[in-house]
Amino acid sequence: MTQAQAKRFQFDRQLWHRFVETAQPYFYPVGQKQTRVFLILILALMVVVVALTLFLSMGLTLWATAIFPDFFAKSGKGLVDGVQSLINSPAPWIGLGALAIAGAVFVSQRQKLQQRWLQWLLLGILLSLLFIVNGLNVILSFVFRFIDTALNGKDGEVFWQFLWIYGIVIVVAIPIIVAYRYLRQKLGVLWREWLTEHFLGRYFKGRSYYRLDSNSAYTLIDNPDQRITQDIQSFTGVTLDFLLDILDSILTLISFTAILYSISQTLMWGLIGYATFGTVAAIAIGTRLIRINYEQLRLEANFRYGLVRVRDNAESIAFYRGERLERKQVTERLLGAIRNFNLLIIWQALISLFQLGYNYFTRLIPYIIIAPLYLAGDLDFGAIAQASLAFGMVLSALSLVTNQIQNITEFAASINRLGEFYDALNGPGNDRESSSNAMVDHITTHLGPTVSLDNVTLSPPHSSRVLVRDLSLAVDTGNHLLIMGPSGSGKSSLLRAIAGLWDSGQGIIERPELADLLFLPQRPYMILGTLREQLIYPSSQSIADDDFLLGTLKRVNLSDLAERFGGLDSLENWSSVLSLGEQQRIALARVFINQPRYAILDEATSALDVDNEADLYHALTDLGTTFISVGHRPTLRNFHRQCLEVQAEGRWQLSSIQK
């Protein structure tokens, strides 16, 4: 593994940048220095939530005191006094000031936050619910303390009173907790939908899906499908989980550390030291897991793709009776995933060993420290249980990283996969730059009224082999060109260069906008959709009425097709229910329907009989479309005006065809 590769699997700045690049856009535009503003906005949101919760809890306490004055006078005196002194302190004014500042921060960013208010609102509600759940936990810790102490002191009245309070708190808490969980998932789903669209937009823009060449041995981006599906889903879900868990831990720390501090300072400081040690150790062990998790995601995706290929090529495999080899290949992919998984569970076991030791051992500590205080009469009985509860809460808050290290490393792996993908999608030619071909010049494409090539030398990607050297030709309107030559000489490659798919080499290609050209590739491509969508492809909206579509089917000799399958809106797996010749005729029908200025036909009639082929070429000539065809049959010469013969080692010969 190179040093650069090893760097992909560390907790470092690059991982942080990748995380921010992927996570931020849903909430705030990404760009230079924008992350700071984004973090300030999160802080402002927290300030709003804290201030509102402060006012809410003060208001609720005053309201409850007015309704149950006797109870609060007897049992809740401390709380009422606390709230009264809070009201008389500068806290409410500070709260109001903080609210105003936080509000101003949001207002100042309103333009950049356009269409992003829903996510901020949901995040705000989630944070508020989180605060409330935390507050309820603190109340419960006191309720139990009073229950235990009342039991120990045999005070029946107080005992029953607090049992009632417990019941009431639970009735309030359950719907809040359920709403909190629901909203957390809801925000995750909305975010996933947005982020997936965001990636899909880039994946299809500038033909990135082709440029990434994800099935090639040179690719940096394997299995984009898995990155767009599984990686994004886990990214959004886990980011929210972690964000809220971290905030929850901070709140728990603030509320329960105060309780713990009031019971025993030694216990609190010891705990903080212990948790710091645990976190550092967990990160050190966990770093190794990032790479293993990354590999696991890749190998699982390879395995799944192996099976998808079998499904897509079922008929060819069945003809060849290639089951044994296919099964062997799929099994090898499975074994690759299993081997890595075995490594993963060994490391997980090692981490569990550390985590369990860490967690079990600490359970004893509060008793060891608190019991002597109780036995000496310095603490009431309920304080022991409260101290253990507070200790447990603070410990779990401080041990977030230690306890979640496996999930964190899985998360880091998916951040890396998404980050790499994002970089590759955003930087045109990023992957090409890293290839050995980086020094080779590129063919330049200009827009012009007709197709012409000027001194074009063309090579396949990642190769120094020359397919054609210094080729110049012009295909003016109506001056149809036929390209011939031995198999593998570079005929289809020339078409790829005209389409802008390949640009390794030199020279200039002039062509109209791609929207004015229609390429029919060598292997007919049938989309997933209805017969109508099939015919109008690559247009996505209806560009012709039913009569025209049925007339075109007749023109390409498929007049019974619509009837055979139940109309233009019938849905089939067209690539398996149509013969190759029928698929080629559907592809030609697309030329009649879309009526491009140039049709580029790569052996597009190779599966048709000679008469059918002649009919279709005559119809194409009548249409007024200029065509460039690649083919082997000598009869094709009858329909073209010039012929390019591609020969070995980059040589070629251009001649006009005399009628």
Ligand X SMILES: Nc1ncnc2c1ncn2[C@@H]1O[C@H](COP(=O)(O)OP(=O)(O)OP(=O)(O)O)[C@@H](O)[C@H]1O
**Gap between the Cα atoms of 255 and 258, Å rounded:** 6
Length of the chain: 659
Among 78, 488, 551, 566, binds ligand X (CB under 6 A): 488
Question: What residues pair up with 520 in beta bridges, in sequence order?
Answer: 601
* Residues numbered 125-184 forming contacts with ligand X, rule: CB under 6 A: none
As measured in angstroms, the least distance from the Cβ of 102 to ligand X is 55
Q: Which is nearer to ligand X, 278 or 490 (CB)?
A: 490
3-state secondary structure of 274: helix
For 629, phi then psi, to 5°, come to: -115, 145
Q: Which is nearer to ligand X, 382 or 461 (CB)?
A: 461
**Gap between the Cα atoms of 485 and 644, Å rounded:** 8
Stretch that binds ligand X, among 70-78, 270-278, 488-496, 541-549 (CB under 6 A): 488-496
**Gap between the Cα atoms of 179 and 390, Å rounded:** 25
Under rule CB under 6 A, residue 467 binds ligand X: yes
Nearest Cα residue to 554 out of 473, 468, 479, 616? 616
As measured in angstroms, the least distance from the Cβ of 463 to ligand X is 5
Under rule CB under 6 A, residue 629 binds ligand X: no
Joined tokens for residue 104: 């101003």
For 264, phi then psi, to 5°, come to: -155, 120
As measured in angstroms, the least distance from the Cβ of 441 to ligand X is 18
Site string for ligand X, 27-66 (x = CB under 6 A): ----------------------------------------
Q: Which is nearer to ligand X, 239 or 489 (CB)?
A: 489
The residue assigned the tokens 């690719």 is 219
Under rule CB under 6 A, residue 296 binds ligand X: no
Q: Which is nearer to ligand X, 394 or 467 (CB)?
A: 467
As measured in angstroms, the least distance from the Cβ of 519 to ligand X is 13
Q: Which is nearer to ligand X, 461 or 505 (CB)?
A: 461
Alpha carbon 547 to its chain's center: 43
Tell me, by CB under 6 A, how many residues bind ligand X: 13
* Sequence-distant (≥ 6) Cβ neighbours of residue 348 within 8 angstroms: 289, 406
Under rule CB under 6 A, residue 493 binds ligand X: yes
Q: Which is nearer to ligand X, 483 or 550 (CB)?
A: 483
Joined tokens for residue 586: 């559907």
**Gap between the Cα atoms of 324 and 310, Å rounded:** 12
Site string for ligand X, 437-466 (x = CB under 6 A): -----------------------xx-x---
Calculate the dihedral angle through the C-alpha atoms of 300, 302, 305, 307, rounding to the nearest 10 degrees. Answer: -70
Q: Which is nearer to ligand X, 262 or 463 (CB)?
A: 463
**Gap between the Cα atoms of 389 and 653, Å rounded:** 87
Nearest Cα residue to 533 out of 605, 589, 581? 589
As measured in angstroms, the least distance from the Cβ of 433 to ligand X is 17
Q: Which is nearer to ligand X, 195 or 604 (CB)?
A: 604
Q: Which is nearer to ligand X, 401 or 628 (CB)?
A: 628
**Gap between the Cα atoms of 409 and 287, Å rounded:** 7
**Gap between the Cα atoms of 437 and 425, Å rounded:** 19
* Sequence-distant (≥ 6) Cβ neighbours of residue 38 within 8 angstroms: 20, 24, 27, 28
As measured in angstroms, the least distance from the Cβ of 425 to ligand X is 20
**Gap between the Cα atoms of 473 and 454, Å rounded:** 7
Site string for ligand X, 518-557 (x = CB under 6 A): ----x-----------------------------------
As measured in angstroms, the least distance from the Cβ of 213 to ligand X is 7
Q: Which is nearer to ligand X, 389 or 630 (CB)?
A: 630
As measured in angstroms, the least distance from the Cβ of 629 to ligand X is 12
Among 234, 402, 414, 489, binds ligand X (CB under 6 A): 489
**Gap between the Cα atoms of 491 and 502, Å rounded:** 13
As measured in angstroms, the least distance from the Cβ of 468 to ligand X is 10
**Gap between the Cα atoms of 103 and 99, Å rounded:** 6
As measured in angstroms, the least distance from the Cβ of 490 to ligand X is 4
The residue assigned the tokens 């990032």 is 290
Identify the H or E element spanning 485: none
As measured in angstroms, the least distance from the Cβ of 654 to ligand X is 16
Among 75, 492, 539, 621, binds ligand X (CB under 6 A): 492
Question: What residues pair up with 446 in beta bridges, in sequence order?
Answer: 510
Q: Which is nearer to ligand X, 192 or 491 (CB)?
A: 491
Under rule CB under 6 A, residue 491 binds ligand X: yes
As measured in angstroms, the least distance from the Cβ of 216 to ligand X is 7
Among 286, 382, 419, 490, binds ligand X (CB under 6 A): 490
As measured in angstroms, the least distance from the Cβ of 522 to ligand X is 6
Stretch that binds ligand X, among 22-30, 408-416, 429-437, 491-499 (CB under 6 A): 491-499
- Asked if the peptide bond before residue 90 counts as cis, ω within 30 degrees of 0, the response is no
Ranges of H-type helices in 205-218: 208-211
Q: Which is nearer to ligand X, 495 or 536 (CB)?
A: 495
Handedness of CA 456, 461, 467, 469 (dihedral sign): positive
Question: What residues pair up with 483 in beta bridges, in sequence order?
Answer: 630, 644
Q: Which is nearer to ligand X, 488 or 551 (CB)?
A: 488
As measured in angstroms, the least distance from the Cβ of 649 to ligand X is 12
Nearest Cα residue to 588 out of 537, 631, 548? 537
Q: Which is nearer to ligand X, 496 or 555 (CB)?
A: 496
As measured in angstroms, the least distance from the Cβ of 630 to ligand X is 6
Nearest Cα residue to 365 out of 275, 492, 236, 490? 275
Site string for ligand X, 569-588 (x = CB under 6 A): --------------------
Q: Which is nearer to ligand X, 185 or 522 (CB)?
A: 522
As measured in angstroms, the least distance from the Cβ of 460 to ligand X is 3
Nearest Cα residue to 598 out of 460, 487, 452? 452
Q: Which is nearer to ligand X, 554 or 633 (CB)?
A: 633
Nearest Cα residue to 608 out of 581, 633, 583, 590? 581
* Residues numbered 468-487 forming contacts with ligand X, rule: CB under 6 A: 485, 487
Question: What residues pair up with 454 in beta bridges, in sequence order?
Answer: 508
The residues binding ligand X (CB under 6 A) are: 460-461, 463, 467, 485, 487-493, 522
